[in-house]
Amino acid sequence: MARAALDNVGEVNRLRRAGRREVVYDVLLWVLICVFVAAMGPDPFLDPAAFWAMTGAKWGLAAVAVLVGRPYPLAAVALLVPLGPWQFDTGLATWTPDWTALRPGLKIFPFVVTSPFIIWYAYLTGRRLGALWPAAALFCLITAVGALVVLAQGASTELWITMGSGLLFTYLLPYLLGLLRRRLLEQRRQTRLSTEAQARLRERARIARDMHDGLGHDLALIAVRAAGLELAPGLGPEQVKAAGELRVAAADATERLRQIIGLLREDADAAPLSPVDEDVAELVERARSSGLAITLDLTGPVPELAHAVVQEGITNAAKHAPGAPVTVTVSPHLIRVRNGPGRARPTALPGGLGLAGLRERVRLAGGTLTAGPAGDGYELTVELPRAGERDR
């Protein structure tokens, strides 16, 4: 009982208008239908009883149709069936088939004054009704009504053509147009949602790259400083232990950062090619001031990718070969970061995402990236195409 009462309350709420504007629109629509219905009924001065009996009933039917038509347009179409195109003496078009045995002046699309309102609610049915079978069932019923009307008037070929065109243009085509409109809006909505999702993924990837390029590099330099303190002479056992704990903590933070980046990063997203504000010389100097033994060989204009490549190479050297000397070579078409063997235990596990993101940047710039052991150390090399050279 309680559930039924709640359902009834929900139905009543759906019949309520959202604002005064909707109320005014629906009242004006009902008045307009009443005027048209009155125009097609008996003369109120010559036969007032017939006028009020026939036209009054149609006014009440139109009032109910307008009341339920906004939330339930299919119900409005069903209520307006008695006001449908069941008259064959008028049509929006006249066809005279000279090459057939059909009578001249064949009416196409029988049109009555209430046809525009039926067409509107049929369109709204396609526009708002999600399920197809209720509309199909009603249209089959309306087709049966039309067939009975044709049979009652002689079932001639001309009547069948007139009735078929009336059902097609009054009910079926408006419904299909509404259905098409709904599908287009749904497709547009899905496209918008997909675009927003891609934008969120790109933003997540940007955050992941910023975290890796900035925080990962800084944590690696902190680990380098801690490793230098751990090996510095003149420290007591407690200071050496504290430096070791600091180095391990920096390594753990780097590992957690890599896990977060794995959640944020979208492998399919292209990496941006723009460098950060810091140039290569400042990057190298900051790493050198952190205790890293680093040498810079800088010649010619610096390519845009140089900062990202050098930062990745220095970060990897600091994490995987602490205390190793690093040599950085930058020229317009070659960027190389090479380090020797480490002097302390590595502060991070292999398998990070830095080289994968950097490889994507290099690929988009038309270059090639190679990374691997070189002698007793490790080397990261990026070759960029020259002007006019074919993209490799």
What is the rounded CA–CA span in Å between residue 191 and residue 72?
A: 28
Same domain, 325 and 339: yes
Which tens digits make up the pLDDT trace of 272-293? 433 445 788 888 888 887 778 8
pLDDT at residue 78 above 60? yes
pLDDT score for 257: 66
pLDDT at residue 180 above 90? yes
Instruction: Answer yes or no: are the C-beta atoms of 202 and 269 closer than 8 Å.
Output: yes
pLDDT score for 13: 58
Same domain, 254 and 319: yes
Residue found by looking up tokens 């993101």 in the block = 357
Higher-pLDDT residue of 392 and 184 is: 184
pLDDT at residue 391 above 60? no
Question: How does residue 5 score in pLDDT terms, banded at 50, 70 and 90?
Answer: very low
pLDDT score for 348: 54
Q: Is residue 7 part of a domain?
A: no
Same domain, 293 and 213: yes
Q: Is residue 11 part of a domain?
A: no
- Domain limits at 270? 201-383
Same domain, 269 and 367: yes
Q: Residue length, the chain?
A: 392
Q: Is residue 1 part of a domain?
A: no
* Tally of structural domains, the chain: 2
Q: Is residue 321 part of a domain?
A: yes
Of 136, 171, 195, which marks where a domain is finished? 195
Same domain, 136 and 239: no
Q: Is residue 58 part of a domain?
A: yes
Same domain, 168 and 220: no
Same domain, 248 and 153: no
Same domain, 234 and 294: yes
Of 134, 168, 195, which marks where a domain is finished? 195
Same domain, 167 and 189: yes
Higher-pLDDT residue of 154 and 10 is: 154
pLDDT score for 101: 58
Q: Is residue 42 part of a domain?
A: yes
Same domain, 117 and 140: yes
Would you call 205 exposed, middle or buried from its count of C-beta atoms within 10 A (0-12, 13-18, 19+)?
Answer: buried
pLDDT score for 273: 37
pLDDT score for 327: 92
Of 195, 221, 252, which marks where a domain is finished? 195
pLDDT score for 18: 67
Q: Which residues have CB under 8 Å from 381's CB, separation 6+?
A: 334, 335, 336, 369, 370, 371
Which tens digits make up the pLDDT trace of 29-75? 888 888 887 877 777 777 778 878 888 888 888 888 888 888 889 98
Q: Is residue 355 part of a domain?
A: yes
Residue 317: give its domain's CATH number: 3.30.565.10
Which tens digits make up the pLDDT trace of 255-277? 666 666 665 655 444 444 334 45
Predicted TM-score (pTM) above 0.85:
no
pLDDT at residue 353 above 70? no
Same domain, 184 and 218: no
What is the rounded CA–CA span in Å between residue 366 and residue 334?
A: 13
Residue 144 Cα distances to 73, 141, 147, 150, 220, angstroms: 20, 5, 5, 10, 80
pLDDT at residue 333 above 50? yes
Same domain, 229 and 183: no
pLDDT score for 6: 44
